[in-house]
């Protein structure tokens, strides 16, 4: 394994991009720094059995970055408690401040407690002229399968590995299929490709179909059908490279055509296409 990717190294890369006036690359390093800070905060929270992170299930980009070492950075912590289960905003804020003391974490406005859950926006002392992040905990999801333990091997960042609760693998794939059907976001296609081709997860077809149908039942589609995942591909292709440049290094971004082919092949093997 090579030398850890430190914040100082990220900052140096950012300054070089800034000197060139390369805005998309600057944004990518800002996202990479935010992802580093969030993973460091989660590592500290994980070591405290009383912290709120042991009462939620992680999902989204930060889970992919920590568990699967995704090349897509994330500036958000996304999680769920399941339907109707809320956590105390005061406790969340207190835990975040303690775990993020090294990074000067402070709130950006008051926590937003909505019908859908809790959103906490915060800032941290940045080395890349940025320093914003967000925690969002949903309370409106009916989890189909039990929460599992996810192992975050973040040693490449110079951090100690840790384990935290996370949404089940088949449920993560099902949720990503739902979002891909409902919106034209290139990152959804990228994430689905990572789940299906690089995660090494065991995805029993019957369980996956059950989860997919459960996710689609609250949408206009109601149930899965072959080819549904292709609904927004044309729009996604038009912004594939320009959008993903702010999140992924160009040499690590697979060609759109190959991503679609890989996903189609995997979905056929899972009896979804």
Per-residue model confidence as pLDDT tens digits over 213-232: 999 998 999 999 999 999 99
User: Taking the chain, what is the end-to-end CA distance rounded to the nearest angstrom?
Assistant: 38
Location of structure tokens 């090294």: 102
Contact between 162 and 229 (Cβ < 8 Å):
no
pLDDT(207) > 80: yes
Dihedrals φ, ψ of 52, to 5°?
Answer: -65, -25
Q: What is the mean pLDDT of the chain?
A: 94
**Is residue 190 packed enough to be buried (19+ CB in 10 Å), middle (13-18) or exposed (0-12)?**
buried
Burial class (CB in 10 A: 0-12, 13-18, 19+), 250: exposed
- 153 and 159 in contact (C-beta within 8 Å)? no
Residue spans per domain, the chain = 1-167, 168-273
pLDDT per position as a tens digit, 122-152: 999 999 999 999 999 999 888 999 999 999 9
pLDDT value for 5: 82
Whole-number pLDDT of residue 1: 40
Over 70: is that where the pLDDT of 3 sits?
no
Position 84 scores a pLDDT of 74
pLDDT digits over 148-182, tens only? 999 999 999 999 999 999 999 999 999 999 999 99
- What mean pLDDT comes out for the span 186-203? 96
More confident residue, 39 or 252: 39
Give the pLDDT of residue 142. 85
6-37 pLDDT, tens digit per residue, is 999 999 999 999 999 999 899 999 999 999 99
Q: Say how far residue 11 (Cα) sits from the centre of its chain.
A: 22
The pLDDT of residue 246 is: 84
φ, ψ at 101 (rounded to 5°) = -60, -40
Rg of the chain in Å (alpha carbons): 19
Is the pLDDT score of 2 beyond 60? Answer: no
């Amino acid at each position: 394994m090579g030398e850890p990717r430190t914040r100082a190294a990220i900052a140096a890369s950012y300054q070089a991009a800034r000197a060139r006036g390369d805005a998309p690359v600057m944004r990518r390093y800002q996202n990479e720094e935010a992802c580093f800070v969030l993973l460091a905060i989660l590592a500290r929270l994980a070591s405290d059995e009383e912290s709120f992170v042991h009462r939620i299930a992680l999902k989204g980009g930060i889970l992919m970055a920590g568990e699967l070492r995704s090349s897509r950075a994330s500036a958000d912590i996304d999680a769920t408690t399941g339907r109707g289960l809320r956590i105390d905003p005061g406790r969340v804020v207190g835990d975040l401040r303690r775990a993020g003391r090294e990074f000067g974490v402070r709130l950006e406005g008051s926590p937003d407690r909505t019908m859908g859950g809790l959103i906490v926006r915060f800032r941290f002392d940045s080395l890349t002229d940025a320093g914003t992040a967000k925690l969002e905990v949903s309370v409106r999801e009916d989890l189909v399968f039990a929460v599992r333990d996810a192992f975050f091997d973040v040693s490449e960042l110079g951090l100690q590995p840790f384990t935290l609760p996370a949404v089940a693998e088949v449920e993560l794939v099902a949720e990503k299929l739902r979002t891909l059907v409902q919106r034209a976001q290139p990152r959804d296609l990228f994430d689905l490709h990572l789940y299906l081709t690089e995660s090494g997860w065991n995805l029993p077809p019957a369980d996956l179909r059950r989860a997919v149908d459960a996710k689609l039942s609250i949408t206009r589609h109601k149930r899965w059908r072959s080819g549904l995942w292709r609904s927004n591909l044309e729009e996604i292709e038009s912004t594939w490279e320009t959008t993903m440049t702010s999140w992924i290094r160009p040499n690590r971004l697979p060609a759109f055509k190959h991503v679609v082919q890989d996903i189609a092949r995997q979905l056929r093997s899972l009896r979804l296409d």
